[in-house]
Structure 1
């Protein structure tokens, strides 16, 4: 009888020990699986983060490339309409995106559109050599009037207009051969061909459009930009 009990106890202990070994084995497997799962999750987060960063970077690059591509076009749509005062007004969209490359404008001199991030100094500045359209357009955005002339303009008219510009903040002057009249005055969205420096349209254009209602950025600086 005692021998039977001993045998039964031994068997029970053996089963208990076997169950304990099985439990320890399960715990080890669970720990391994937990660690492995954690590694997978962390790796997934890292990979996802890298993909997200790269995706954002790609989007940013795309915006830059798009801006550069658009720079070849002014972004403008519309046309000039001629008013009774001889002032041509651009009817349509004039884009205001800052670009770093040359722009092909639909009008000459341009009266708006995509332009350089840096404006042309326009605090009564008179330039004796051609300036960059893209910088001058930014000056127009600040409310400047831009006087341009071709080689067909008389020296007397050029000198008289230069004198007027020099004493007028928010104005500038430069030679410009690619225009359809010897003397042209431009503001943001507006332009007029004048017959001479004494043409009444000159004073009227200056009084109307120097920091006029058409100005997209009234009060913005006309100094601290580029000098040419």
Structure 2
């Protein structure tokens, strides 16, 4: 029985050593390919251990499809000692066969309709204000002479001022409507008292003159004529 020659065994060992030397550090790793990069409009790629020259296909999101002429396939390649994924040309677009939702659902009401609603609301407010004015006009009120000027001032102020100013004008008008009659009443009472005093004084003077005239005329006995 002849002994086996050691040359073939040595050759196999040399080939294995040379192959180990030629492998780059990236190729020696158990999972040389990096994480698959995310792509716009596609699902998130799953994490898995992948080897060099392995491939992966992106999947577009629901409602989107791959655009014709683009590829969703990428390959893990070794280039100049670096392992990387070859960039994809994939473009995900809206599915043309899928019905599209109605556009601009927020502004479904036409502008003319909105304007008509606004005009109707404005007209309704005018009608309410008119009814209120008619109701106030139908209510019987006693208008005093000294309140005419105050009422006129209140109407002018309510037409030119804001609600806050109108509130202040109403307060002022209320105060004036209370103080003005009191002042006029006081003046009337004072004038009446002065008139009564002057009338009484004139009456007393007339009575005194009549008494003086009666005293100045001499008493003539009956049946005799004055000289």
TM-score bracket relative to the smaller structure: under 0.3
Higher relative contact order (CA 8 A, sep 6+): 1
Give the structure-2-normalised TM-score. 0.24
Give the structure-1-normalised TM-score. 0.24
Q: Comparing both structures, which one devotes a greater share of its residues to strand?
A: 1
Q: Comparing both structures, which one devotes a greater share of its residues to helix?
A: 2
User: Which structure has the greater CA radius of gyration?
Assistant: 2
